[in-house]
Structure 1
C-alpha cells in the first residue's frame, strides 16, 4: 500500500521530508488553519491523509510563487476566487521583481568594474573628457596604491553610476577651478586672505565627486601637488610655480582652522 494512502496517513516528519518543508512550517500552517492534518494517533500525533497532502502541495507551490499565506488561504478555500486572475497578478509581480533584480545585477557589475579600474570610460572617452595630458593608466596606478582605502571605495561607488556626461561635468568644474586658480596667482592673491580661502573651499567642493575631502586630507594633497612630479608638472603647466603656490593657500587655510600643516595626516 502506498504510504500516502495508508489508512494511518503520514507523520509530520514524513511529510516534511516528502515536501521539503520544515516541521516548524507544518506546525504553523496547522495552527493557523491553513493546512491541518485530518487524523491523529491515539497519542495525539498529527497524521496527514492523501487529501491533506494534495492541499499541502498547493500551499508549497503558491508559496514558491511568492503568495502570502492569507492569499493562499483565499485561493484554497473560496470557490468565488479567480485563481487564474490571482496567478496572473502574481506573475506580473514576479516579472517586475525579475526586472528589478536584473537592474540590480547590472549595477553590481558596474560597481565591480569600477572598483577594479575606476572610471567606466574608454581610453578615447577619457582623452576627450580629461584632456590630452590625461594618462588612462593613472586610475590603475591609483588602485594599486589606494585600492584598500575607504576613499577608493567611495570613488569607485561614484564612478559606477557616472557616465560620460557626468564625468564631463566633473572635469569641467575642475578645469574651471584650475583656470581661476592660475588667474588668482597672476592677480597676487595672498595666502590666508578671503579670496584664497574661497579658492581652498572651492577646491574641496570640485574634488568631492571623487570622495569627501577633509581639510587634513587637503593638506596632504597639497604636499603631493608640489612634490609629486606628475602633479607638479600638471599645475606648473597651468602657471609656473602654481603647485607650490597652491600648497601655500591650502596650508594657510588649514592653519586658520587650527590644523598644523606640518603634522597633518590623511584623516
Structure 2
C-alpha cells in the first residue's frame, strides 16, 4: 500500500515536518515524489520509519541511527529483537519505580514502617546494576573476575543518596564534556582530554575498590572493542567513545 506524506503522518503520529526533515537528512527517503513535489511512501519506508522511531525511543541521535540503518549488514529482524529486549528492560525498570513510589506513598500515609533514605533509592540503584550486568556483565566478569564485579555492585548498592546523585551527575558530566570536546574538534591529548579522564576516574571511584591506571586503560580498551560501549558514548555525537579511549590511554597514570 502507498501512503502520501499526510497519510503516513496521520498513521504514525509523526508530523509531516519531521518526515520532510528525515528526508533532508537522508534518513528516510520517500519511494517517489510526484510532479507537485508530494512525497509517497511504501511498505519498505513504513517499516524503516518504525525502526527509526524505536531507536529514537532508545535515545540514539539521528546520525547514529542513520549509520546503523545504512549499514549493508543491517538486519531488521535482529534489530527488532534488540528493541524488544530494551523495551522489556524498560518495563522492568518502570515496574521497580512504580513499586518504590507505592512504598513511599504508603510510608507517607503511615500505612507501613518508615522507609529509610537508602530504601527510597534502592530501586534506582538496583536497576542501574541490572542494566550494566545485562550489557557488560559477561565481559566484565571474564576480564576482572566474579569477585571484583560483585564488589563493584555491592558498592553501588551501599551508596548514600548524596553519593548516588554525585555518581549519576558525574556520568552525565563526562558525556557532556565528551560531546563538547568532539564538537569543538579538541584533541584527546589536550587539557580538555585530561580533565575528562579525571572526571571519568572520579566516576569509576564510586564502583572500584581501588584505582589503577592499568585497569583504567584496560576498561577503555573494552570500550573500543565492543560496539555497545561505543553506541552508549556516541549516542548523540559520533566520536565520543573513541575520544575517551584515546584520552584515557594518553592521560591515565600521568
TM over 0.5: no
Bigger Rg, structure 1 or 2: 1
TM-score (norm 2): 0.43
Larger RCO (CA under 8 A, 6+ residues apart): 2
